[in-house]
Structure 1
Amino acid sequence: MDVNMQEYFKNFYLFLKEKEFCDVNLVTDEGLQIAAHKIILASASCVFYTMFNGQFRERNKNKILIKGMDFETLESIVNFAYTFKLDVKQNNFEKLLMAAEMYDISGIRELCFKYIKENINPTNCVSIMKITELIQLNKEINSFCWAYFLNNFTMIVNSALEAELYGFPIEDVLKMIKHDDLVIDSEEKVFDFIIGWISYNTNERKHMFLDLMKCIRLPLISIKGLKRICNEPLLSNNKDFMMDMLKEMNNTKPLNTQRRIPASNIIVAINGPIPGEDSCVKYMDIKNCDDLKWKSSDQLFFIPLRFLTTMVLSENGIILAVGGLDESGNHVNLVEELDLKSKSKQWISTRPLIQPRKDFSVCTHKQYVYVVGGTDFSSVNLSSSVEYYDINSKVWTEIIEPMPTARAYSGSTIFHNKLYVFGGYYGDFLATVEYYDFEKKHWKQLDPMPICNYNICISRIENVIYLVGGRRAPKRVFKFDLQHYKWFEMPNMNMDTFGDCSSVVIMKNDLFVFVNDGGTVHCERYDKEERQWKSVDSAGKQTYKFCNMITFNDIALKSYGIYL
């Protein structure tokens, strides 16, 4: 708005305050009045415009009853029409939203939406969802709330009030638990939610139990989990359904069962920062099989502050950038956070590593980020220590018992309360596999990998770990079954694959591997029928010495307000 227009609107607002030239009085149900100008109200709301300009009786009236709106809300709306300013708060956003819908005031609707995006959390998510659905707001706000709910389902179940959480009608419950985008670490979470929803009103809901159970992807549940489910009285008392369920599971293999998409469908390749080079961000969305292409993104806030830093995404939407080189080219043990839920989307310094190290591996579990092994900055002394960072408390803690084998360039992941470490380098290349049991607080060694290798790309998808490439075998791919501790080798890939710049994703039971090779990004997909890897797309040029690769679910990104 230019200066002259600002002056005009300042004058209009003064006229409002001084009640000069007012030609209409808005009256609340309580009889309180606000004097205003029809032309200003009509410019802010098409409803007021129609009211004053159409064939309605209000056209010739100077007093108009505004039903169902209290004085404070009406005053806020009138002030907004003159100033474009609005103080949206927890105790008024619902009333403002209703008023914005009733009088079709897009500016107020947008400010309320902005408030929701900045203030939604696991505790208030359900109540906000119900407000937006009740008011029947536009699709953008509804889809945002649903995206947040699906992406934060586990935290919401643990945080929301029972009356709100289990007050959903059956139609909404079915929509939730059938959704491919529901972010859960186990199908058992769906079962627990069903039991909670039924138990909240057992007499009226127990007849819906079997229909809800059909939405659980049972072949993806562990044997231990299935035993727990079968012991549920609502199920164990229905022998016919249990037999049908077991038959279906017996005829359906886990690999043929549709997984929920949040295993990640957006792959982001982050190139930079490199002194003297342009940084860039590229991404691919594998949900759309007809458009498997690398694309450029202008979301450059992903780029970390330092060269050679290692980036890792925690489960609560915070990226950690660990270590790397400072401006003088020296290794540092500094750490920064990028909270994707924040408004600023800026890297913020947090506590440094306990032990200065490089060439380590990283993995995450819940709110913890684990840094495993590595070497000191001189590259002489290899580390056997593991330390972990609590995203909530911002504190690093070292696991008391060191790894049996000191190593750098290892691969690591966590499954069922165990930290698994594969391969690496210790004066020679290693095939060693060890795990740390968090309950017993003890390390145990497993049978070695089929080959010695280091700097391997490691990705876990449920109970299978994929070990792809590595410096000693850049095209070889192995699978490790975590339930039976058995190794299987897959056909060789076409491209070379190394460490942290690679990622493995399953989408609709297709296996994808992504590689960020110094700025050139590649993707291959495994054809199960032909038992071979096929190139999907590559882009960029190799100008960088070190890059990062992070995978997201598009629902999660939308819940953070990020649109690539």
Structure 2
Amino acid sequence: MGDFDRQTQMKHGFSHIQWMQNFYAQSMYSDIKLIIKNKRYAVHKSILHMASALFRRLLNDNIRVLEMDSKDIREISVSKAIEFLYKGTIEELRIEQIANIVKLAELWQLDKLKDYCYLFVEGIFRDNSQVSQRLGDIDNYFINNFSKITTNIRFLNLSIENVKQLLSSDGLKVSSEEQVFRGLSQWIKYDWINRKKDLYSLMTCIRLPCCSVSFLLEEVRALCCESVEECQLLLDAILWHQFPQKRASLKLMNSDFRNIDKRVLILGGNNNEISGLIEMYNFNTNSWTDFFKIDINITFFLAETFKNNLIIFGGWDTKENRLNDKVYSLNLHTKQLTDLAPMNKNRSNGTSVIINERIVVTGGHDSLIHPMDTVEEYNIIENSWKIVASMNESRSDHASVVYKEKIYVFGGISASGDNLSSVEVFDPNANQWTMLRPMKWKISDLYAVVVNDSIYCTGGYNGTDFIGQVEKFDPSSNSWTDVSNMPVKDSGFQAIYHNEKIICFGGWRNSKIQVYDPAKNTWKIIGECSNRRNDYVALLLERNF
């Protein structure tokens, strides 16, 4: 292509862009109404379709109105975002608008808009050295790009107050806490003579228990050798790992993972074709990706995550056509699968919870497909199983949760094959089960979620049909309350509590993602699962992999 052709092509393209801008300004030929906070924007479906994968997934030929999530999004941010979609630039953009526009860009998956905002901030950095001290105005840029800016001269020149504020942020976007410490190390070493006095105060902002022991002994120890206080922090972090019983006394140890892009792993289910496929769901983008496919021939298994590992146990061996007692560990970093100590009993269709670094498995089917009352406990550190006190009733296809270091189980199928309404609680310290007030309905294949000081039991099967009833249990008063029903009745699904909401994924007969807001007692459907699954496992990840 010659220069004449290129210039002609560019002029042709610019002409089309200008016409689309005119169409938008005059609301001409718009074929979809975008609704944000009850305000309507007449836009063009083709423009939205080109903007992001989210719009491509939501739009189809028949849709004429699209209402988008707008939590905490300002009207000016919406206007600026639409302006960018049509122009590729934003006129009269101001620094105080950036954080909210970036938040909208993340919500709508507008990567080019995010890049535009970050370049805008970097341009201000170059033009005004004082801006780098105004962390309150540009915190979203630093938080979302921490790994990129730790070697930037503007970051290295931040004040101690700004660095402390940044390192203390729950929303810092990092793949690991080690990354946060390395940022601290970069800042300290940039002016070691004058800054080493600030090392201890900044160290208290690092979630040291979230770092591996090897990292603590190598990189953290290499930097923290100047004061007794710094050495004590390092020692406490190692004690946190090695002696779990001492954690309550380690008051400066913040072990909470930062509120990064939390994701859910979905695996297993009554579907041989996808039972080994591990999918990952991203809350922020409402999107699915394939994470890994494990080479095991089992369904109806249980799984839990611990640190960097996915632990899989029990289930039905489809190759040998029998119940399974095997236990596997999948390293989520290396994707390496290893064998662990087997369970004491073959079982499927039970439930599992993690409590005090132990996995407790309750009930399920035995080899004759009869519900069981047996309970066993796996010591993750010692890689060993032991039998603990049995439940008062045999049950399979039930629900279980941990609340205040006790295990609660709900409903299920009894030894006689009938549905149960019974509820019981296990005290690990006393090794004893106690019956509680039963549910209103006899339900199996339900799911339970802890929300603050209540436990919500959702959906299930009543023996003849799927149900959408939701009951709220108050452990302190041993009482039940009905709340709003699910929009789609189903069973065999799993749910996650995230961002103060309960999110339910699919089930036996649907693939909807249903969200319950306990504060408003309302449900809504936000999307679809990429594959239909039932009796599967869903696990919330506390870090990125």
Counterpart secondary structure, 1:392: coil
Q: What percentage of aligned pairs have identical amino acids?
A: 17
Write out aligned runs for 1:209-248 (5 A): none
Paired residue for 2:185? 131
Counterpart secondary structure, 1:134: helix
1:406 partner letter: S
Task: Name which of 409, 430, 440 aligns with 1:421.
Answer: 409
Paired residue for 1:450? 440
1:305 partner letter: I
Task: Name which of 250, 266, 269 aligns with 1:269.
Answer: 266
Q: Measured at CA, do residues 264 and 374 of structure 1 come closer, stay the same or move farther in structure 2, by a change above 3 Å?
A: farther
Counterpart secondary structure, 1:475: strand
Cα distance in 2 between the residues matched to 1:475 and 1:325: 31
Paired residue for 2:296? 305
Q: Is the contact between residue 305 and residue 347 of structure 1 (CA under 8 Å) also seen in structure 2?
A: no
1:515 partner letter: F
Cα distance in 1 between the residues matched to 2:258 and 2:434: 33
Structure 2: segments with no counterpart, 5+ residues: 1-150, 154-174, 192-201, 222-227, 235-246
Counterpart secondary structure, 2:503: strand
**Does structure 1 residue 388 correspond to structure 2 residue 382?**
no
Write out aligned runs for 1:26-65 (5 A): none
Counterpart secondary structure, 1:448: coil
Cα distance in 2 between the residues matched to 1:420 and 1:528: 20
Task: Name which of 303, 327, 330 aligns with 1:335.
Answer: 327
Q: Measured at CA, do residues 129 and 391 of structure 1 come closer, stay the same or move farther in structure 2, by a change above 3 Å?
A: farther
Paired residue for 1:15? none
Cα distance in 2 between the residues matched to 1:519 and 1:132: 53
**Does structure 1 residue 398 correspond to structure 2 residue 387?**
yes
Cα distance in 1 between the residues matched to 2:470 and 2:260: 20
Paired residue for 2:488? 495
Q: Is the contact between residue 516 and residue 548 of structure 1 (CA under 8 Å) also seen in structure 2?
A: no
Q: Measured at CA, do residues 492 and 520 of structure 1 come closer, stay the same or move farther in structure 2, by a change above 3 Å?
A: closer
How far did residue 149 of structure 1 move?
5.3
Counterpart secondary structure, 2:188: helix
Cα distance in 1 between the residues matched to 2:231 and 2:452: 27
Paired residue for 2:428? 438
Answer with 273-282 or 474-483: which moved more. Answer: 273-282
1:441 partner letter: N
Paired residue for 2:359? 369
Cα distance in 1 between the residues matched to 2:506 and 2:207: 29
Counterpart secondary structure, 2:298: coil
Give CA-to-partner distance per residue, 1:528-563, whole Å, 9 cap, x none: 686431111114354x5653322223xx12xxxx1x
Paired residue for 1:471? 461
Q: Measured at CA, do residues 502 and 126 of structure 1 come closer, stay the same or move farther in structure 2, by a change above 3 Å?
A: closer
Paired residue for 1:51? none
**Does structure 1 residue 482 correspond to structure 2 residue 475?**
yes
How far did residue 387 of structure 1 move?
0.1
Cα distance in 2 between the residues matched to 1:383 and 1:521: 30
Tell which structure's C-alpha radius of gyration is larger.
1
Q: Measured at CA, do residues 279 and 430 of structure 1 come closer, stay the same or move farther in structure 2, by a change above 3 Å?
A: closer
Number of aligned residue pairs: 334
Give CA-to-partner distance per residue, 1:427-475, whole Å, 9 cap, x none: 2211111112222222211111121111211222343212111112531
Task: Name which of 175, 182, 193 aligns with 2:251.
Answer: 193
Cα distance in 2 between the residues matched to 1:527 and 1:548: 22
Cα distance in 2 between the residues matched to 1:418 and 1:529: 25
Paired residue for 2:281? 284
Cα distance in 2 between the residues matched to 1:264 and 1:126: 16
Give CA-to-partner distance per residue, 1:31-81, whole Å, 9 cap, x none: xxxxxxxxxxxxxxxxxxxxxxxxxxxxxxxxxxxxxxxxxxxxxxxxxxx
1:307 partner letter: I
Q: Measured at CA, do residues 305 and 133 of structure 1 come closer, stay the same or move farther in structure 2, by a change above 3 Å?
A: farther
2:251 partner letter: F
Q: Identify which of structures 1 and 2 has the higher relative contact order when contacts are C-alpha pairs closer than 8 Å and 6+ apart.
A: 1
Task: Name which of 163, 168, 177 aligns with 2:229.
Answer: 163
Cα distance in 1 between the residues matched to 2:261 and 2:489: 22
Counterpart secondary structure, 2:322: coil
How far did residue 497 of structure 1 move?
3.7
Q: Measured at CA, do residues 134 and 337 of structure 1 come closer, stay the same or move farther in structure 2, by a change above 3 Å?
A: same
2:229 partner letter: A
Q: Is the contact between residue 434 and residue 444 of structure 1 (CA under 8 Å) also seen in structure 2?
A: yes
**TM-score for both structures, normalised by structure 2:** 0.52
Q: Measured at CA, do residues 350 and 398 of structure 1 come closer, stay the same or move farther in structure 2, by a change above 3 Å?
A: same
**Does structure 1 residue 316 correspond to structure 2 residue 307?**
yes
Q: Is the contact between residue 268 and residue 300 of structure 2 (CA under 8 Å) also seen in structure 1?
A: no
Paired residue for 1:251? none
2:386 partner letter: T
Paired residue for 2:342? 352
Q: Is the contact between residue 269 and residue 521 of structure 1 (CA under 8 Å) also seen in structure 2?
A: no
Counterpart secondary structure, 1:424: coil
1:404 partner letter: N
Task: Name which of 513, 538, 542 aligns with 1:549.
Answer: 538
Q: Is the contact between residue 408 and residue 425 of structure 1 (CA under 8 Å) also seen in structure 2?
A: yes
How far did residue 365 of structure 1 move?
1.3
Q: Measured at CA, do residues 417 and 534 of structure 1 come closer, stay the same or move farther in structure 2, by a change above 3 Å?
A: closer
Give CA-to-partner distance per residue, 1:76-102, whole Å, 9 cap, x none: xxxxxxxxxxxxxxxxxxxxxxxx999
1:450 partner letter: K
Paired residue for 2:527? 537
Q: Measured at CA, do residues 300 and 447 of structure 1 come closer, stay the same or move farther in structure 2, by a change above 3 Å?
A: same
How far did residue 395 of structure 1 move?
0.2
Q: Is the contact between residue 273 and residue 307 of structure 1 (CA under 8 Å) also seen in structure 2?
A: no
How far did residue 271 of structure 1 move?
5.7
**TM-score for both structures, normalised by structure 1:** 0.51
How far did residue 398 of structure 1 move?
0.6
Cα distance in 1 between the residues matched to 2:261 and 2:497: 7
CA RMSD of aligned residues (A): 4.3
